Structure 1
Amino acid sequence: MTLPTVKVAAAHAASVYMNAPATVQKAVSIIEEASRNGAELISFPESFIPGFPVWAALWAPIYNHEWFKRMAANSVRVDGPEIAQIRAAAKRCGVFVSMGFSESTDVSVGCMWNSVVLIADDGEIINHHRKLVPTFYEKMVWAPGDGFGLKVSNTRIGNIGALICGENTNPLARYSLAAQGEQIHISAWPAIWPTRPPGSGTNFDNLAANRIRAGGHSFEAKAFGILNAGFMDDTMLDALHSNGDKQAREVLETTPRAATQFLDPTGAVIGDTLQIEEGIAYATFELEQCVEPKQFHDIVGYYNRFDVFDLVIDRRRLSPATFRDKRAMERTVPPIAEISAFDGTGDRAEP
């Protein structure tokens, strides 16, 4: 069996902040440009549509009601027109697309998930994952997801899996993808992730942290990696500084910016790296390179002890309620005459 060689692209791009329709149009143009440059797989950052809710880090929840409402209004349905436009672009260009977005639902106008979809080159959604656990202040915005999307998609360009931001810190989530033959791992990240105000100690260095986590996964799973971070442009910065909070602006300007880059199955950096400039990064993955490192450590093969470790993963899609309507019950309950013909033990009663 010969494994494919694939050119991949990652959008180190800024959302049109909290504006879903405009961000979708920007995403479509990026897909078209990357496909013209030969990319067969194009990924986007965490919550690219409509942008990452960094405002939850800057101010206490009592000051964020308007931001939350704005986020809810610009979050999108997985079966809605916005994702449909992304699917149409993927089909038109004949490429695979991984899109991070804030997902809404018709059962609750305020419920949102931090989600990612993988769209095939025919425009069909082949995986839909909701982040298992929102991290730190994200809990004030997004609901916890479920295991439904912990899947690797077997495609003509390789076996593709994805996790969102801090999920790449969860070794069990990462192992669940490695155990399905993952060859390309997409990790989606925000542009910045502030944890401390200036002068109060060391801020979280997401440049280093992202590289360590993604590199660890590539090394352990022997898979290529796409670290796809967002980008904070002046429009986003100005929107978050619209109330004139000087300390908030200082936080935004001094927090380390994340990078977009690519890793080979040893964890080494390959291809383009983008950090302080917006753009599209490219790399070429020769999936045959996933084979040789398996001689050293195959954590889903001989380099494991399945008699000692037993991992069970629940991939059911969770639902807020299960409904049984009257008509359905009438179809399943036998008529009275039939019920009286049984003695209650399961045996037919004597006449």
Structure 2
Amino acid sequence: MASIQKCAAENKIVVVLGFSENLHNSLYISQAIIGSDGKILTTRKKIKPTHMERTIFGDSFGDCLQSVVDTSAGRVGALSCWEHIQPLLKYHTYAQREQIHVAAWPPLFPHNEDGSLFSMSSEGQSGVDRMATHGGALMSTPGGGCSAIFGPDGRQLSQPIPSTEEGIIYADLDLDQIYHSKAFVDVCGHYSRPDLLWLGVEGSVKRHVRENAATVAAEAEQQEQ
């Protein structure tokens, strides 16, 4: 992590990095957002590991719902894999005024967010059908990357890279385009009815050991006496 932070600072770039986090000997599917000064702005854990991931990785905590931070490139946020099929989680991300979304997808097809923001889909490889691995070793065929950058209107802004080649995708972002799309529909703004429908969030961390508040107060009072 330190070497990536150093690289971000030297090149003045914002980095969103997926990694396996070891916290007190439990593993989590995590994402870090590193600022252009090399400092870690936030880390978050996937709220619920998907299917077989649960044999290795644990659930996240309430504070991981805050997934959007200010960077030199704009307000950047991230979600991981099947978190993108959780409508409440996506809505909560939209409500944090996200401008650039990094969608980490391991083996699925290109996908764009639907919250009128820029979306970078960082996929490792395409699905089994497209890789023609039926009857063979899973994920054994080389290639299949589908990383792409999408605009707020759903247009793909980046040029495709052949599945047999490695490379970096680029696109110039005009953040004002977000206003154009949101002028038409803003699901967390003018095109919403929070007086009728709203999202409740429990963002606190539930500790494994929680002392009773009354007991703590009584002990403090005894010490004062």
TM bracket, shorter-chain basis: 0.7 to 0.9
Aligned counterparts of 2:139 and 2:125: Cα–Cα separation in 1: 12
Aligned counterparts of 1:176 and 1:294: Cα–Cα separation in 2: 17
1:269 aligns with 2:156: yes
Specify the alignment match of 1:90 in structure 2.
8
Q: Residue 199 of structure 2: SS of its match in structure 1?
A: coil
C-alpha deviation, 1:322, in angstroms: 4.5
Contact 1:127 1:149 (8 Å CA) reproduced: no
1:103 aligns with 2:21: yes
Contact 2:14 2:73 (8 Å CA) reproduced: no
Specify the alignment match of 1:346 in structure 2.
none
Identity %, equivalent residues: 28
Query: Equivalences for 1:264-343 in 2 at 5 Å?
Result: 264-274=151-161, 275-322=163-210, 332-335=220-223, 338=225
Aligned counterparts of 2:180 and 2:123: Cα–Cα separation in 1: 29
Letter of the structure 2 residue corresponding to residue 145 of structure 1: S
Aligned counterparts of 1:226 and 1:142: Cα–Cα separation in 2: 25
Structure 2 residue ranges without an equivalent (≥5): 127-132
Aligned counterparts of 1:268 and 1:87: Cα–Cα separation in 2: 31
Higher mean C-alpha deviation, range 268-277 or range 302-311: 268-277
Q: Residue 139 of structure 2: SS of its match in structure 1?
A: helix
Specify the alignment match of 2:53 in structure 1.
138
Q: Residue 172 of structure 2: SS of its match in structure 1?
A: strand
Letter of the structure 1 residue corresponding to residue 28 of structure 2: W
Closer, same or farther: CA 269–321 of 1 in aligned 2, 3 Å: same
Contact 2:49 2:57 (8 Å CA) reproduced: yes
C-alpha deviation, 1:93, in angstroms: 1.9
Letter of the structure 2 residue corresponding to residue 301 of structure 1: G
Contact 2:47 2:64 (8 Å CA) reproduced: no
Q: Residue 182 of structure 1: SS of its match in structure 2?
A: coil
Aligned counterparts of 1:98 and 1:126: Cα–Cα separation in 2: 10
Q: Residue 285 of structure 1: SS of its match in structure 2?
A: coil
Specify the alignment match of 2:86 in structure 1.
170
Query: Equivalences for 1:15-34 in 2 at 5 Å?
Result: none
Aligned counterparts of 1:323 and 1:114: Cα–Cα separation in 2: 29
Aligned counterparts of 2:148 and 2:189: Cα–Cα separation in 1: 28
Deviations 1:282-302 (A, max 9, x none): 111111111111121111111
C-alpha deviation, 1:120, in angstroms: 0.6
Letter of the structure 2 residue corresponding to residue 114 of structure 1: I
Letter of the structure 2 residue corresponding to residue 223 of structure 1: L
Aligned counterparts of 1:103 and 1:264: Cα–Cα separation in 2: 31
Contact 1:87 1:124 (8 Å CA) reproduced: yes
Aligned counterparts of 2:135 and 2:44: Cα–Cα separation in 1: 32
Letter of the structure 1 residue corresponding to residue 102 of structure 2: I
C-alpha deviation, 1:330, in angstroms: 11
Aligned counterparts of 2:90 and 2:9: Cα–Cα separation in 1: 29
Contact 2:44 2:64 (8 Å CA) reproduced: yes
Specify the alignment match of 1:221 in structure 2.
115
1:117 aligns with 2:5: no
1:126 aligns with 2:41: yes
Greater helix content: 1
Contact 1:260 1:281 (8 Å CA) reproduced: yes
Deviations 1:48-67 (A, max 9, x none): xxxxxxxxxxxxxxxxxxxx
Closer, same or farther: CA 278–248 of 1 in aligned 2, 3 Å: farther
Structure 1 residue ranges without an equivalent (≥5): 1-82, 193-205, 233-245, 339-351
Across the aligned residues of Structure 1 and Structure 2, the Cα RMSD in angstroms comes to: 2.8
Contact 1:262 1:273 (8 Å CA) reproduced: no
Greater Rg by CA: 1
C-alpha deviation, 1:250, in angstroms: 2.9
Aligned counterparts of 2:142 and 2:57: Cα–Cα separation in 1: 22
Specify the alignment match of 1:155 in structure 2.
71
Q: Residue 137 of structure 2: SS of its match in structure 1?
A: helix
Closer, same or farther: CA 335–152 of 1 in aligned 2, 3 Å: closer
C-alpha deviation, 1:146, in angstroms: 2.4
